[in-house]
Structures are given as structure tokens and as C-alpha cells.
Amino acid sequence: MNYTITNGTSENVNTGFAVFVGMVGSANRQYDVSNAGCSASNPDSIFDGGDLFPGGSYTGNECVVVPEAEVGDGSLLVTVEIGFSGETSFFRSS
């Protein structure tokens, strides 16, 4: 998946630690980069953005592998967590 991180804080943030994205399939199991198995073929990785100064943005890719059986209806529940201790948000993709 491709997404953009924008630093809306007054401090530098590192793209590799700023946002954690995962997906929840129909079996209610979360899939994320830790079980993706495709990081070697991930061009423009979101983790390669380095430090972002306030107001800076970086667009990159993150690879998440979800078994086909878990996306039978064509949608996934996407989870987004800001930093290590941030709240997790959820939204439905289609």
C-alpha cells in the first residue's frame, strides 16, 4: 500500500517509527509488516524516509500480505497507530 506521512508536530519524527499500519482480515487476525514476508520487494519503503522536520512529508510504500481467503468481500479493516504509544484508529478499505 502507498501512503503519505506528514509531520504535524513541532519536533522531528522518523518515518520508520511514526506510523504503524496493519490490516485485519475476515478471520479477525491482524497482518502487518512483521508478518508480511515481502519487505525485500518493497520499493520506496515508508521506512526509508528518515527524519521529517515539522511540516515535512514523505510518501512511501508498505507491504502487507493478507491471505486471499480473508478478503473475500474485497475489503479490509485498516489499522493505523501513531508512534509506539499512540492510539490505534481503524477504517474500512474497499
pLDDT of residue 67: 84
Q: Report the candidate in 24, 28, 35 with the shortest Cα–Cα distance to residue 62.
A: 35
CA of residue 85 relative to chain centroid, distance: 15
pLDDT of residue 9: 84
pLDDT of residue 6: 87
Residue type, 53: F
pLDDT, one tens digit per residue, over 52-86 is 899 999 888 888 788 888 887 777 787 777 766 66
pTM of the model: 0.69
Q: Cα separation of 27 and 7, whole Å?
A: 34
Q: Report the candidate in 69, 72, 1 with the shortest Cα–Cα distance to residue 33.
A: 1
Ranges of each domain in the chain = 2-93
pLDDT, one tens digit per residue, over 12-59 is 888 878 777 888 888 888 888 776 566 556 678 887 888 989 999 988
CATH number of 2-93: 2.60.40
